[in-house]
A and B are shown apart, each in its own frame.
Chain A
Amino acid sequence: RKEVEQDPGPFNVPEGATVAFNCTYSNSASQSFFWYRQDCRKEPKLLMSVYSSGNEDGRFTAQLNRASQYISLLIRDSKLSDSATYLCVVNIGDAGGTSYGKLTFGQGTILTVHP
């Protein structure tokens, strides 16, 4: 079983639609959670961190359920520019309480927003 699992899609949605991505992780020791965005043939870039209380950044809302080991990303009012691959990412950290940053990525979910 992969450590981080995502539905690879692709998701094809019209402009203005709401779309949700889901992700599960297997290591209960995971400490930090993120969504990264990756455009075609570009490097991954941090979209947002994910907190237990849930957090929102404009049209983007991220949720974390530690008990179910489940992470989600909701995009409202989709724009053409939202077309990209969305990567679910976890960081296990270490026993000392720091987070040396080794990231474990899901396969990525491809989103295409069309006019």
Chain B
Amino acid sequence: GAGVSQTPSNKVTEKGKYVELRCDPISGHTALYWYRQSLGQGPEFLIYFQGTGAADDSGLPNDRFFAVRPEGSVSTLKIQRTERGDSAVYLCASRFGTRRGNEQFFGPGTRLTVL
């Protein structure tokens, strides 16, 4: 079946612009996660959704970052007034339920470059 999909695959923007990154989780997966991976580092947690609500947004670096999941499926990560330091690969992952051991499946990521 289809895996997690993310669009766009690449996004180049200028400093100060607004961007939206989209994630389509695996059908039926209630848990959705956003991570950010900088060059040479492992992914870092940003936010977790269970259904429509953000259950844990402790990883969002500041209030320029916001994410929504209005219908409990597709999620959008929104970044306002982008900065060069926001350049990274933004990964989305989904999981069925919250039972320990349920595998988390990652999408291919969106590579964001802020010039």
Contact = CB atoms under 8 A, between A and B. Distances in A.
B98 A101 contact: yes
Interface residues of B, number: 27
B106 A99 contact: no
A98 B30 CA distance: 14
Contacts of A89: 42
Given A32-B100, A32-B101, A44-B106, A101 B31 contact: yes
Nearest to A43: B106
Contacts of A87: 42-43
Interface string A32-44: 1000000000111
B102 A107 contact: no
Given A100-B48, A100-B55, A101-B48, 8 more contacts: A100-B50, A101-B31, A101-B98, A103-B33, A103-B35, A103-B45, A107-B40, A107-B41
Contacts of B25: none
* Most chain B beta-carbon contacts within 10 A, residue among A46, A98, A103: A103
Contacts of A99: 98-102
Interface in A57-110: 87, 89, 91, 93, 97-108
Nearest to B95: A101
Interface of A: 4, 8, 31-32, 42-46, 49, 87, 89, 91, 93, 97-108
A97 B98 CA distance: 10
Contacts, number: 66
A102 B42 contact: no
The 3 closest A-B pairs by CB, nearest first: A105-B42, A99-B100, A43-B106
Nearest to B44: A105
Contacts of A97: 100
A101 B40 contact: no
Contacts of B48: 100-102
A68 to B, nearest CB: 21
Contacts of B104: 46, 101, 103
